[in-house]
Amino acid sequence: MSELTPYHRVMVVVAHPDDMEFGAGGTVARLVQEGKEVVLVQCTSGEKGTDRRDVAPECIAQQREAEEREACKRLGVREVVFLRLPDGELVPDLAFRERIVRQIRLFRPDIVITHDPFRPYALHPDHRAVGITTIDAVYPTARDPLYFPQHLAEGLEPHKVAELWLFGAQYPDLYVDIATTIELKLSALAAHRSQVGDSQDVAQRVRERAAELGAERGLRYAEAFKVISVRR
């Protein structure tokens, strides 16, 4: 299998614990195996994603952060940053954008992977908010020094990202062969015990979806992305 990308530094930005694993877990595992450095920015800790009433949101957050750390360990993600913004209440405003720009200027990724916010009728508001805010953070905000000039005073230089990879895309143009990493993807998903755990239904659905996407390109299992080259 040839190398996925010549770039080296990858940052994944997602709304909730398990979003990266569902959308891009097999791809992330491949990137790590190719020696790339991958970090994850987790915008919320998923503390409201439950139908239980007898557990405090803080307890759920704590558990889901621990699960995300375990999932990252299984995939080989170098670091996970928890922004701890309120689950279900993300809006694409400037304060949120500043948080993402800060992470981009700190980690300085070549590739940023996030939710596709442009897919029609996609329902979760956090997924849309994270996708649009991350895209806006990449271009033009993180790139140009006059945006959030307080960062300069802190020693955070502007940074040009080369590519955006959007998962959950309506019109993908990059199909990643995950035949060798689908078991790692499933293992990382299983680390999310409070959401997925050992559910065979979920594992089955993930395999079916990966097989469907793969069939579009003659692959056994795939994940798919819309790639946007960022003007530098």
Binding-site ranges for Zn ion (CB under 5 A): 15-16, 19
- The DSSP-derived string for 18-62 is THHHHHHHHHHHHHHHTT-EEEEEEEE--TT--S-SSS-HHHHHH
Q: How far is the CB of 158 from Zn ion (least distance, A)?
A: 30
> In terms of CB distance, is 4 or 132 closer to Zn ion?
132
CA angle 114, 216, 182 (to 5 degrees): 60
Using CB positions, name the residue nearest to Zn ion. 16
> In terms of CB distance, is 15 or 31 closer to Zn ion?
15
Q: How far is the CB of 122 from Zn ion (least distance, A)?
A: 11
Q: How far is the CB of 46 from Zn ion (least distance, A)?
A: 7
Phi, psi of 144 (to 5 degrees): -110, 135
> In terms of CB distance, is 5 or 44 closer to Zn ion?
44
How many C-beta atoms lie closer than 10 Å to residue 1's C-beta? Answer: 10
E strand spans, 127-221: 163-167, 174-177
Q: How far is the CB of 113 from Zn ion (least distance, A)?
A: 14
Q: How far is the CB of 15 from Zn ion (least distance, A)?
A: 5
User: How far does CA 35 lie from the centroid of its chain?
Assistant: 18
> In terms of CB distance, is 128 or 143 closer to Zn ion?
128
Q: Which amino acid, 160?
A: K
> In terms of CB distance, is 135 or 156 closer to Zn ion?
135
CA angle 19, 144, 163 (to 5 degrees): 40
Q: How far is the CB of 33 from Zn ion (least distance, A)?
A: 25
Dihedral angle, C-alpha 212, 218, 220, 223, nearest 10 °:
-60
> In terms of CB distance, is 4 or 85 closer to Zn ion?
85
